[in-house]
Structure 1
Amino acid sequence: MPPPRTRPVVNRALSTLIEQAGWTHAATAQHVNAVAAESGERIHYDRSAVGHWLTGTVPRPEAVRAAVEAFRRRLGRPDLGPADLGWPDRDGTAPDDPWSGDPVARLAALGEDDMLNRRTVLTAGTLTLAALSAHGGDARARAAPRRAGSGDVIRIRATTRGFADLDDQFGGGHGRIAVAAYLAREVTPLLHATNGRSRPDLFSAAAELCYLAAYMAMDAGANALAQRYYISSVRLADEAGDGVLRATALRSMAVQAAELGHDTEALALAEAAASALAGHGPPRTRAWVTGMRAEAHAAAGTRWDALNLLRSTETQLERADSVPESEWTGNYRRESLEHQIGLTLTQLGDHATAARHFAASMNARRPVELRTRALIGLRAAHAFLRAGEVERAAGTVLELSEDLRQISSARVRDELSRLRADWQPYRGDPAVTRADRFVAETVRRTRIF
């Protein structure tokens, strides 16, 4: 029940939507906070704040964006805007379809805005389920002809590999703006005007770099920005006629949706990635996509489908006859499968077995994969904790101490925060006390966001 009112309701539009949503004032605040948190906005509204909104207060722009998206999702109305909530649209929060328009022009503007931290990025800073659900059409770029050569493709791919190595080692918060600058200033001018024989390869190379920009943004906690980069990657892959790369970007959008708790969208995206491959592509890439389908089915509650898909993933990976490094997309190794099994079993509630698969994945990681090793290691610690192996959980965190000091990653930070919250009942355990003290010091003294 809403609290007794001492001031009259002024914002009737918002009051009507709250009633249609079936939310209390407290639930309204919780949903707004949760949507904002998906893109790294730390806001903490409560039921009294909603009461103030109803009596005429207009919240901050980031809260307006989050509230609009929260009601869009709840009511299934992607057309909702601030005016429908009784608020002025000061920042242009009208729905925007990133799947439409010239893909190259959109990417150029996105890279420039990201690099310069412009308000156009900030005011589009909410991840939308409508964009997650679209999966794209085929809107091809048009420009006056100019030839880009194979040398341009070689340079872009070499740059992508260099940035990818930095991301693997230090996390998405390190060097991300440099990637945006390279996309905006060096790559998109080539895409704007080329029709030579190198055109498909050029668009594929740009899509790979755009995919990396998306992954780095997601790792840095900028999920709305990552969503737009992922969509750009899909659309560039379509320009190149590259179904494998389209599947790669859709698969990673499924990962993003799953990590944010959007299980229905994650499953749809994983299935869309499989459809993009249509049974073709390298076995290693097919295994990579099938593994994500297994995780998404587990989250959706279809247990036997998930387990059958895991078996298919293992079979596909065993048939992969190329070394992983030879395939840019789907660089999927045994330790990657161990991680996927851990994620799937976590969704199915088998934490003890999941912990052992996570630990196997963590221990097999190469030296360059500091961020990945840390992220998976923290997931292993969490699974050990949930399985009742408290000292093993604490020991796993302490084992990661050197890695954690070097990493700049919002995803790692969030794993640490969830782990610390969940081991509070065990703070009397000496191992947990040591691990918690280390984590607190690490978060305070390092670049983990």
Structure 2
Amino acid sequence: MPINSALRAAIEEAGWTLAQTSSAVNTVGAENGLRLYYDRTSISHWLSGTVPRKDALPCAVEAFARRLARPMSPQSLGWPDTGIVLSDLWAGEVLMRLTQIGRDDMLDRRTVLTTGVYSLAALAVPAAPSPRQIPSGAEAAQRIRETTRHLAQLDDLYGGGAARSTVAAYLTHDVVPMLRVARGPARAEMFSAAADCAYLAAWMAADDMRSALAQQYYVQAVRLADEAGDPIARGRLLRSLALQALELGHTTEALDIADAAVTAIRRGCPARTQAWILGMRAEALAAANRGPEARTVMRSAERLLEAADSPPEYQWTGSYRRESWQHQAGTLLASLGDLAEAEGHLAASVATRQPIERRTRALIGTRLARVQYRRGDRDAATQTLGRLRDDIASVTSARIDHELAAFPHELVPARPSRERPTLR
């Protein structure tokens, strides 16, 4: 076989060894739920003319795109055109994109061949369009919001892996057709409501650790909010895009997006939503080892929350409560190594959760147990997990599976057998 000179040139430009190249590709695969075990020998085979398997090839392209900070394609690495298109998620007609994402999701097309890979390039968020007045909504927008709120309750009862196809179907078959014919003063409110529904699909995909799919939904949700001229919805959505980036370990990008979210809400934003978004920025600052600044921002979020009025009944995104702040504060302090204070905040968050918040309680509870285990208090961790036994057994959440994977097997409550995701 001929030597792949294009791949060799890309590796040299990246400044990678063969082992570093394989590690970078494996890392992208792990983000997307693929267990890749490439090593330096594998890269040698690629240099000798072997082409990566079809599900791994987009991961290799993304790995080089990140390192070289420019768009890449299979052809630019010396591989044939396989029909894989790594397109710009911020381009194209938003309703057409949303329809395709929803259809893929309903068909459960799990491979990267159809859903793409989680892309750092997509985290370069375009500037918001010029603000304009948002007209009052209508019955259709209210129906979208109410349906979304009910579907969100199913998500928290059963986890993101349980009912997302229902949300995808609702978006594809009901919401998008309504948006296509929306005219007049109700149009902006309908697009804003649809952005929340797309956000729910993204949140559920992230909980199922379908990273690429979640990112695609998040980006289209932001675009719907921009189409509605709704900067506050844009800020809420960017906040969650930042959270996903942070959970995947992309600290710099997470902080940039959190800053963009703060910028979006500078005018006319309710104090409660401001607090929610500032709390996310504080988490990103802590992950970036900017501890004093993170604590200051978290205290600002607390003051805003204490001054906040009650949220509208329909609003479930950004309806930040004290127990949510406790969770964020606990997560922030744990990342800074202040485990004793983190334990107190996480315990308070778990204790005040409503019965319907089963997935949330299980997720935060497992994080509490991890802090207790890190502190050396194995008994406390065991007791915490024991109290969560029923919640853990009832929800389908790959994020909870990932949290539980950090514990010795004997500490973990029995639950239905599921394949655990691989993260870096």
Pick the TM interval, shorter chain: over 0.9
Structure 1 match to 2:191: 203
- Aligned residue number for residue 75 of structure 2: 83
Secondary structure at 1:408 match in 2: coil
Q: In the alignment, which residue of structure 2 is the partner of 1:134?
A: 125
Structure 2 unaligned blocks of 5 or more = 132-136
Closer, same or farther in 2 for the Cα pair 1:398/1:24, shift >3 Å?
farther
CA distance in 2, matches of 1:123, 1:167: 25
1:270–1:296 CA contact under 8 A, matched in 2: yes
Say whether 1:114 aligns with 2:105: yes
Instruction: Please report the RMSD computed on the Cα atoms of aligned residues, expressed in angstroms.
Output: 2.4
Q: Please give the TM-score of this superposition, normalised by the length of structure 1.
A: 0.87
- Alignment of 1:435 with 2:411, yes or no, is yes
From 310, 313, 316, give the equivalent of 2:301: 313
What is the aligned-residue identity percentage?
50
Determine helix, strand or coil for the equivalent of 2:415.
helix
How do 1:186-225 and structure 2 match up within 5 A?
186-225=174-213
Which one of the candidate residues 145, 149, 163 is aligned to 1:157? 145
Instruction: Select the residue among 43, 58, 81 that pairs with 2:51.
Output: 58
Q: Which residue number corresponds to residue 144 of structure 1? A: none
Aligned residues: 417
CA separation of 1:393 and 1:124: change in aligned 2, threshold 3 A:
same
Residue equivalent to 1:74 = 67
Tell me how far apart the structure 1 counterparts of residues 5 and 202 of structure 2 sit (CA, whole Å): 39
Assess if the C-alpha contact under 8 Å between 1:254 and 1:269 holds in 2: yes
Letter paired with 1:65: P
Q: Does 1:275 align with 2:275?
A: no
Residues 58-88 of structure 1: per-residue CA shift (max 9 Å, x gap)? 11122111111111111212x1111122211
TM superposition score normalised by structure 2: 0.92
**How far apart, CA to CA, are the structure 2 residues paired with 1:41 and 1:363?**
36
Residue in 2 that maps onto 1:98: 89
User: For the Cα contact (< 8 Å) 1:135–1:272, is it kept in 2?
Assistant: no
CA distance in 2, matches of 1:118, 1:91: 16
In the TM superposition, residue 41 of structure 1 has moved relative to its aligned partner by 2.0
- CA offset at residue 366 of structure 1? 1.0
Distance 2:254 2:144 in 1: 30
Gaps of 5+ in 1: 1-7, 141-148, 424-432
Deviation at 1:10, TM superposition (A): 1.8
How far residue 136 of structure 1 moved from its aligned partner, in angstroms, is 5.1
CA distance in 1, matches of 2:127, 2:201: 19
- Cα distance change of structure 1 residues 161 and 294 upon mapping to structure 2, 3 Å threshold: same
Q: Which has the higher contact order (CA 8 A, sep 6+)?
A: 2
What amino acid maps onto 2:411 in structure 1?
A: A
Give the equivalent residue in structure 2 for 1:36. 29
Q: How does 1:243-254 map to 2 (within 5 A)?
A: 243-254=231-242
Quickly say closer, same or farther: Cα 1:447–1:80, change in 2 above 3 A: closer
Contact in 2 for aligned 1:172/1:215 (Cα 8 Å): yes
Structure 1 CA distance, aligned partners of 2:363 and 2:257? 23
Between the aligned partners of 2:110 and 2:375, the Cα distance in structure 1 is 45
User: Alpha carbons of 1:400 and 1:410: their partners in 2 closer, same or farther (altered >3 Å)?
Assistant: same
SS at match of 1:43: coil
Q: Is structure 2 residue 333 aligned with structure 1 residue 340?
A: no
The one-letter code sitting in structure 2 at the alignment partner of 1:34 is T
1:26 equivalent in alignment to 2:19: yes
Letter in 2 for 1:410: A
- Per the alignment, residue 338 of structure 2 pairs with 350
Displacement of 1:109 in angstroms is: 2.3
Q: What is the aligned counterpart of 1:371 among 345, 355, 359? A: 359
- Matched position secondary structure for 1:366: coil
